[in-house]
Amino acid sequence: MTRLILEASTSPASWVFTQQGQAIASGTLLGTVAATLVPSLQTLLPNPPAPSQILVGVGPGSFSGIRSAIASAHGMAASWRCPVLPVRSTSAIAYHYPDTPLLGIFSDARRGDIFATFYSMGKLQTPTQVHPATSLHSLLTRCTLAVTPDALPGVDKKISTHATDLASYLQTHELEPDLSLEPIHLRPTMATK
């Protein structure tokens, strides 16, 4: 199976092309996904094979980055005639901690909230949920290890997501069957006037 994996939930965004689970090329985007993805692919992999799938990290994270990655994936998939599927971006972080009894991955959900996702021994235990930022301390007490891709008070270990880590995670884990191909947002958008 050949896959193109896009991860834009954190900055900088990244991509990796894999065949049979092995990376054949990867890149880090130094600008927006819309402006730099295709040029990066053309430079680092001038004649890519048509992928069997395009996978997009759906967060939680940068809503606009994820939306842009999904739109770009759909455009390429129309040419390559392959499906676009979601993968949870936090799995790129969980890949680094396969032996941690309870890994808490926390990120800033804005508006006084945080996202929390929990993995146990490298497997998703509790899908991403929104919590008030005031509950962070009590959530941290449950964890064997807590990490964040953001700067959150009380979470000392900072780690970013990368498409190559998603590819590595997917070598031993299946895609989530009910994950939606849209940014993990978990609350209604606020109307502006």
Q: Which domain holds residue 9?
A: 2-89+161-170
Which pLDDT band holds residue 188 (cuts at 50, 70, 90)? low
Does residue 179 fall inside a structural domain? Answer: no
- Return the CATH number at 143: 3.30.420.200
Residue 11 lies in a domain: yes
Residues 6 and 58 in one domain: yes
Give yes or no: residues 64 and 137 share one domain. Answer: no
Alpha carbon distance, N-terminus to C-terminus of the chain = 47
CATH of the domain at 71: 3.30.420.40
Beta strands in 35-83 (DSSP E): 53-57
**34 and 103 assigned to the same domain:** no
Q: Would you say residue 183 lies in a domain? A: no
Rounded CA-CA distance 19/171 in Å is: 11
Residue 135 lies in a domain: yes
Based on the domain organization, do 64 and 143 belong to the same domain? no
Residues 81 and 166 in one domain: yes
Q: Does 59 share its domain with 132?
A: no
Domain check: are 81 and 112 in the same one? no
Residue 102: exposed, middle, or buried by beta-carbon count in 10 A (0-12, 13-18, 19+)?
Answer: middle
Question: Is the residue at 178 inside a domain?
Answer: no
What are 17's strand-pairing partners? Answer: 4, 25
Instruction: Let me know whether 32 and 84 are in one domain.
Output: yes
Is residue 135 helix, strand or coil? helix
Residue 149 lies in a domain: yes
For residues 26 and 114, give the distance between their C-alpha atoms in angstroms, rounded to a whole number.
Answer: 30
pLDDT tens-place string over residues 18-54: 999 899 999 999 889 999 999 999 999 988 889 999 9
pLDDT tens, position by position, 76-116? 999 999 999 999 999 999 999 999 999 999 999 988 999 99
Domain count, the chain: 2
Tell me what percent of the residues of the chain surpass a pLDDT of 90.
Answer: 83
